[in-house]
Amino acid sequence: MSDGTPADLFFDAAIDLLRRVREEEAEAIAAAGTLLADTVADGGRLFAFGAGHSSLAAQDVVYRAGGLALMNLLAVPGVLGVDVIPATLGSALERVDGLASAVLDTSPVRSGDALVIISLSGRNALPVEMARGARALGLKVIGVTSVAYASQTRSRHSSGTFLKDHCDIVLDSKIAVGDAELTLDTIPAPFAPASTVVTTALLQAVMATTAATLADRGIEPPLLRSGNVDGGHEWNDRVLREYGDRIFYRH
């Protein structure tokens, strides 16, 4: 590790990744924002899914002040962050064949909807089958993943494929395999993961693009306001009523 405090070096690494994503993924971000705007304009619903720590980025765009009210979390019990004991069970569930099909079959998703799937490695059965199953049902799929894993690791799905192979649009987070940005002679393992910072920023860039694209078409983006500002609750009540048939986190 070069000169600078560990905190400085982590910030530098995260900022460098954000710059790469901004420059190298600009076209994909624009395409993803347009796809979501098209879905909203056509009466479709929006969903986000992630397993383990990837679920954090999915949750960040759902019921979010300043965010799109139509983003719904596609929840899989046991893989929402570290919400089970032991936490290792969540990792095991990501490798279970057939779980994604069971979730999709019992969810409200339908043809014409859009699903954002977040998986850093994109190699486990759950995100791969989720993408394949969603597309088979007629959904558009946006994948957020590190493409590097596809060339440096093996798929854990029987097809030998990765999440990126089953998406309409792929957003590459540029995260290195292992998700640790720093090394130190006195510490035996790499440390300081940046995937949550970068993935969350990527998705918020897509949300911003979606909102602006809708506005450019003369459609008021269905945005939520903070409940901690005057009038925020009244604003949100109106939006939630107007789009109630496309919002599932209230039921």
Q: How far is 219 from 60, CA to CA, in rounded Å?
A: 24
Cα distance between residue 131 and residue 41, in whole Å:
23
Per-residue confidence (pLDDT) for residue 15, from 0 to 100: 98
Q: Which residues of the chain have pLDDT under 50?
A: 1
Q: What is the pLDDT of residue 2?
A: 58
Q: Residue 184: its pLDDT value, please?
A: 93
Handedness of CA 114, 100, 149, 185 (dihedral sign): positive
The rounded distance, in Å, linking the Cα atoms of 21 and 12 is 14
The pTM score is 0.95
Q: pLDDT tens digits, residue range 38-77? A: 999 999 999 999 998 999 999 999 999 999 999 999 988 8
Residue 170 tokens read as 């792929």
**DSSP structure string for 106-168:** TSS--TT-EEEEE-SS--SHHHHHHHHHHHHTT-EEEEEE-THHHHHS--SSTT---GGGG-S
